[in-house]
């Protein structure tokens, strides 16, 4: 059994704010519907509606967050649910609902806030696009769907919004559908995530079959609560895997698809074909984090059967969590390796996102909800910052994305440079000042205290790589001298102000998760937090912080040593390429994962499609043609009969009727006498049937 140490008294009854929580996703969705009806030139109206609706959602989320916070400071663990029956078939019902607890409160504030900044930024970035209104329609729909994922208290409702999010992601990646690469990337993203979603759906169906509910929390009767979990634990599938573990793994497959984990990560880098605000909002800050959020939501299921959780400190693991950990850690290193050898400014960030999502997954697997979620929140801010910074750079360099054709931008775009540098240092985990340091440190600490040290070493290596590739990118873009064609210019204030705000949070958010004041973890776990310098004095912690700082310094140092101050021309091979051409080629070509899929899965589907085509064309087509031919012949035969035998008499009759009575014939068209005759015959036939069947 699970012992969740919650010293706070739980609050389960829904407060007024929980009752109207559904407005948070509904308002942006309605706004999207209204924008869809606007004509193309109504740009201001579209942007105002989108921003206004999300602003409203932000206000409401802040109120909800405040409510949870007030509960927390009164030592009440808020978990308010509002459920209703959606479908009823016989005795079984499918219920939907929403939940207000610290997890959803934190997440919705983040989504609304980052989303709002990116909406504002988009009005500048997309100012010249002719499909401005369509863009905001999709953005608003996305925001609504994402908020739906966040507040859902039912796996089914979550799945619906999850699919809506996938749809908007598809629409936005392919926003410039005239570009073949964008259209292909959209298709790839949709299909790849679909692979994960199929497993997710299987998991949902299995869960419903075994527990009879898809609600997470339902006053003890939900699927994430003790009774249902105990039932799931009591059955084993195979190899000692419990049903809970198996369902957890299926759900994780869905999360892996959405969050770009190995081996379903291939779509995320290609998704950078979409407009940059989309990359920032959907493919960095929010949607890709939905997978992580999902795992955090079903964490009771994933961790069911864990020996003991004592006051938030995890001592043990389950099969499902072990898989999450290892896949996360492997993804973190794998993607970081590839990021080294990329030259597209957004592609580097995309691989970095994949890698950081790996960290979050590993954090969830090793340290529980709070550890993973803290990195999710900090990452959302600094990665959105980096993407928007990259967008600003691209905007300023006239749509140039190759970092080898940039350089020296720190002079031309000072505001962008400063904010980008803050984001980069946060991502690298530069010690003490930046939020990324504290959140990554939490994950490393959890990995270090785990039973197996493998993930720890992987994650430390990943941190080294992260610092290295980010230094390489920044050196190329902002230092050295300008290698592009047109002179660069700084972006307008509507773009730089969101950058500054995000930069502020990229630093400030660190304050709520330091070992001295682990407020974030306490808030999510429902414990009280006190400020205490002795937090740093825990055994091994100082050493760990030192190690991680050293690793970061090493990575940045290596980067500066190899790339600092140099401005190689675009045609010149990279420093590392000169040293190890084969390794560089492998990394540059993304370790051939796409090629591998092309040669296996896609080739198989091609073959299968050809086989099905052949079957359709020759076998089924043949049968249909044979039947059609037979009836054709039959018809010809009938016509022959008709023409020579029947028609003679029929024509005669027709003439008589036509001459006989124009109006009368038409009134009698229905032939009520025949109707009544049929009625009488039918009664006799039916009586015979009844009589015969009651004899039998």
Partner 1 sequence: MNYADLFRVTLPETVLEVAALLVLFADLGLLRKAALKTRVTAAAVLGTVGCAVAVWAVYYEGAAGLSFGHNLLLAAGGSAGVAQVGILVLTAITLLLLIDCEFTRNAGEYVAVMLMAAAGGLIIAAAQDLLVIFIGLELLSLGLYVLTAFAKKSGKSAEAAMKYYLFGGMSAAFLLFGFSYLYVLSGSTYLPRVIYGVNIAAFNGGTPLLCVALVMIAAGLGFKVTAVPFHLWAPDTYEGAPAPAAAFIASVSKVASFALFITVSYTALNYFRILIPEFSAPGSHSYVTLRAVSGRLHETLSFLSGWASVLIVLAVASMIFGNLAALAQSSVRRLLAYSAIAHAGYILLGLAYFSWTNVSAQAILYYILTYGLTTVGAFGVVSVVERATGSDRMDAFLGLQRRNPLLGAITLVLFLSLAGIPPLVGFWAKFNLFAAVLGTSHSSTALGLVALAIAMSAVSLYYYLQVLKRVYVMPAVEETLVRAHPVTMTVLLLIALAVVGMGCFPALLQGWIASFY
What is the contact surface with partner 1 in residues (CB under 8 A)? Answer: 84-90, 93, 667, 670, 672, 675-676, 678-679, 681-683, 686-687, 689-691, 693-694
Instruction: List helix spans (H) across 174-318.
Output: 180-211, 226-233, 243-258, 267-270, 276-280, 287-297, 299-302
Closer Cβ to partner 1, 128 or 695, answer by number: 695
Min CB(633)–partner 1 separation in Å: 23
Minimum CB separation from partner 1 for residue 95, in Å? 9
Tell the smallest beta-carbon distance from residue 215 to partner 1 (Å).
14
What residues have CB less than 8 Å from 223, skipping those under 6 apart?
155, 207, 211, 213, 214, 215, 216, 229, 301
Residue with tokens 């994949």: 354
Encoding tokens for residue 643?
A: 């023409």
CB 23, min distance to partner 1, A: 17
Contacts 24+ apart (CB under 8 A), 508-514: 508/435, 509/377, 509/378, 509/381, 509/435, 510/378, 510/433, 510/434, 510/435, 510/436, 510/437, 510/438, 510/439, 513/374, 513/378, 513/435, 513/438, 513/439, 513/442, 514/438
Residue 693 C-beta: closest distance to partner 1, Å: 5
Q: Mapping DSSP to helix (H, G, I), strand (E, B) and coil, where does residue 286 land?
A: coil
Q: How far apart are CA 155 and CA 294, in angstroms?
A: 9
Beta bridge partners of 11: 78
How near is the Cβ of 96 to partner 1 at its closest, in Å? 9
The least distance separating partner 1 from the CB of residue 607, rounded to whole angstroms, comes to: 31
What's the count of helices (H) and strands (E) in the chain, helices before strands? Answer: 31, 6
What torsion, rounded to 10 degrees, do the Cα atoms 524, 530, 536, 540 define? Answer: -50
Give the closest residue to 145 by CA, choosing from 163, 131, 165.
165
Nearer to partner 1, 308 or 682 (CB): 682
CB atoms within 10 A of CB 235: 11
| Residue closer to partner 1 (CB basis): 73 or 93 | 93
Nearest distance in Å: CB 674, partner 1: 8
Residue 154 CB, nearest approach to partner 1 (Å): 13
Q: Kindly tell me which of 1 and 674 has the beta carbon lying closer to partner 1.
A: 674
Looking at the Cβ atoms of 16 and 670, the one nearer to partner 1 is: 670
Q: Which residue lies nearer to partner 1 by CB, 9 or 93?
A: 93
Cβ 381 vs Cβ 502: under 8 Å: yes
Report the residue number, 238 or 674, with the smaller CB distance to partner 1.
674
**CA-to-CA distance for 100 and 93, rounded, in angstroms?**
23
Phi and psi torsions of 341, nearest 5°: -100, 20
Task: State how beta strands 76-78 and 9-11 pair.
Answer: parallel
Which residues make Cβ contacts (< 8 Å) with residue 318, sequence separation at least 6?
Answer: 245, 248, 302, 303, 304, 305, 306
DSSP result, 142-183: HHHHHHHHHHB-BHHHHHHHHHHHHHHHHHHHTTTTTSHHHH
| 40 or 528: CB nearest partner 1 | 40
Task: Tell me if residue 11 falls in helix, strand or coil.
Answer: strand
Are 65 and 100 a contacting pair, CB within 8 Å? no
Nearest distance from C-beta of residue 683 to partner 1, angstroms: 5
- CA torsion 266-268-271-272 (nearest 10°) is -120
Nearer to partner 1, 311 or 680 (CB): 680
Tokens of 451: 């039973």
Min CB(37)–partner 1 separation in Å: 10
**Exposed e or buried b per residue across 459-498, where buried means at least 16 C-beta atoms within 10 angstroms of its C-beta:** bbbbbbbbbbbbbbbbbbbbbbebbbeeebebbeeebbeb
Question: Shortest Cβ distance from residue 481 to partner 1 (Å)?
Answer: 59
Minimal distance, residue 84 CB to partner 1, in Å: 7
Q: Given the complex with partner 1, which of 20 and 309 has the nearer CB atom?
A: 20
Which one, 86 or 517, has the nearer CB to partner 1? Answer: 86
- Residue closer to partner 1 (CB basis): 62 or 160: 160
| CB closer to partner 1, 516 vs 686 | 686
Nearer to partner 1, 9 or 88 (CB): 88
The residue among 40 and 75 lying less far from partner 1, judged by its C-beta, is 40
**CB contact set of 617 (below 8 Å; sequence gap of 6+):** none
Please give the Cα distance from 163 to 204 (Å, whole number): 14
Q: Looking at beta carbons only, is 569 or 693 nearer to partner 1? A: 693
Q: Minimum distance from CB of 288 to partner 1 (Å)?
A: 28
CB of 22 to partner 1, least distance (A): 12
With the C-alpha atoms ordered 274, 277, 283, 287, is the resulting torsion angle positive or negative? negative
Q: Which is nearer to partner 1, 623 or 683 (CB)?
A: 683
CB of 86 vs partner 1, minimal distance in Å: 6
**Least Cβ distance, residue 657 to partner 1 (angstroms):** 18
How many C-alpha atoms does 154 have within 13 Å on its Cβ side?
A: 21
Nearest to 278 by CA among 423, 139, 131, 379: 139
């Amino acid at each position: 059994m699970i012992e969740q140490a919650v010293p706070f008294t739980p609050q389960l009854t829904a407060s007024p704010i929980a009752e109207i929580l559904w407005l948070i996703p509904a308002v942006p969705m309605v706004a999207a519907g209204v924008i869809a009806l606007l004509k193309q030139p109504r740009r201001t109206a579209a942007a105002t509606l989108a921003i206004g609706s999300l602003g409203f959602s932000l206000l409401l989320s802040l109120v909800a967050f405040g409510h949870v916070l007030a509960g927390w400071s009164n030592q009440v663990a808020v978990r308010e649910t509002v459920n209703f029956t959606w479908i009823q078939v016989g005795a079984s019902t499918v219920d939907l609902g929403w939940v207000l607890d610290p997890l959803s409160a934190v997440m919705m504030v983040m989504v609304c806030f980052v989303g709002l900044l990116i909406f504002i930024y988009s009005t500048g970035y997309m100012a010249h696009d002719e499909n401005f209104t369509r863009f905001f329609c999709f953005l608003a729909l996305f925001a609504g769907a994402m908020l739906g994922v966040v507040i859902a208290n039912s796996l089914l409702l979550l799945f619906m919004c999850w699919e809506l999010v996938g749809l908007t992601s598809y629409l936005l990646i392919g926003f410039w559908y005239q570009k073949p690469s964008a259209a292909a990337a959209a298709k790839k993203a949709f299909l790849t995530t679909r692979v994960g979603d199929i497993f997710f759906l299987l998991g949902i169906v299995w869960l419903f079959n075994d527990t009879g509910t898809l609600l997470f929390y339902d006053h003890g009767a939900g699927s994430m609560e003790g009774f249902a979990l105990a039932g799931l634990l009591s059955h084993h599938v195979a190899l000692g895997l419990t049903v809970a573990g198996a369902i957890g793994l299926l759900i994780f497959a869905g999360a892996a698809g959405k969050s770009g984990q190995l081996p379903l990560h291939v779509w995320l880098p290609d998704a950078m074909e979409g407009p940059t605000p989309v990359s920032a909002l959907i493919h960095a800050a929010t949607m890709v984090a939905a997978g992580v959020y999902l795992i955090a939501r079903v964490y009771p299921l994933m961790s069911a059967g864990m020996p003991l959780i004592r006051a938030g400190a995890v001592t043990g693991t389950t099969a499902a969590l072990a898989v999450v950990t290892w896949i996360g850690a492997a993804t973190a290193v794998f993607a970081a390796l590839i990021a080294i050898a990329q030259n597209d400014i957004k592609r580097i960030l995309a691989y970095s996102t994949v890698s950081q999502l790996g960290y979050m997954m590993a954090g969830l697997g090793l340290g529980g909800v709070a550890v993973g979620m803290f990195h999710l929140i900090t990452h959302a801010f600094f990665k959105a910052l980096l993407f928007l910074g990259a967008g600003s750079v691209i905007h300023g360099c006239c749509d140039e994305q190759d970092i080898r054709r940039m350089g020296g931008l720190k002079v031309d775009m000072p505001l962008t440079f400063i904010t980008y540098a803050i984001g980069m240092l946060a991502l690298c985990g530069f010690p003490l000042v930046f939020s990324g340091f504290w959140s990554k440190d939490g994950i490393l600490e959890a990995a270090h205290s785990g039973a197996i040290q493998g993930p720890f070493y992987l994650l430390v290596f990943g941190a080294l790589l992260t610092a290295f590739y980010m230094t390489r990118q920044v050196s190329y873009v902002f230092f050295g001298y300008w290698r592009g064609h047109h002179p660069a210019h700084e972006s307008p204030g509507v773009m730089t102000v969101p950058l500054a705000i995000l930069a502020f949070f990229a630093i400030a958010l660190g304050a709520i998760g330091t070992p001295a004041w682990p407020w974030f973890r306490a808030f999510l776990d429902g414990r009280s937090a006190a400020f205490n310098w002795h937090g740093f004095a825990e055994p091994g912690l100082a050493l760990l912080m030192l190690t991680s700082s050293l690793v970061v310094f090493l990575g940045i140092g290596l980067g500066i040593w190899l790339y600092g101050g140099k401005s190689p021309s675009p045609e010149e091979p990279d420093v590392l390429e000169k040293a190890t051409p084969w390794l560089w080629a492998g990394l540059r070509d993304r370790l051939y994962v796409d090629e591998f899929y092309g040669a296996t899965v896609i080739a198989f589907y091609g073959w299968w499609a050809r086989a099905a085509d052949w079957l359709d064309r020759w076998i089924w087509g043949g049968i249909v043609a044979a039947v059609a031919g037979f009836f054709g012949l039959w018809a010809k035969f009938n016509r022959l009969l008709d023409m020579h035998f029947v028609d003679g008499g029929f024509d005669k009759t027709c003439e008589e009727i036509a001459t006989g009575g124009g109006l009368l014939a038409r009134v009698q068209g229905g032939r009520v006498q025949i109707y009544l005759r049929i009625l009488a015959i039918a009664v006799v036939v039916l009586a015979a049937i009844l009589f015969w069947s009651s004899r039998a």
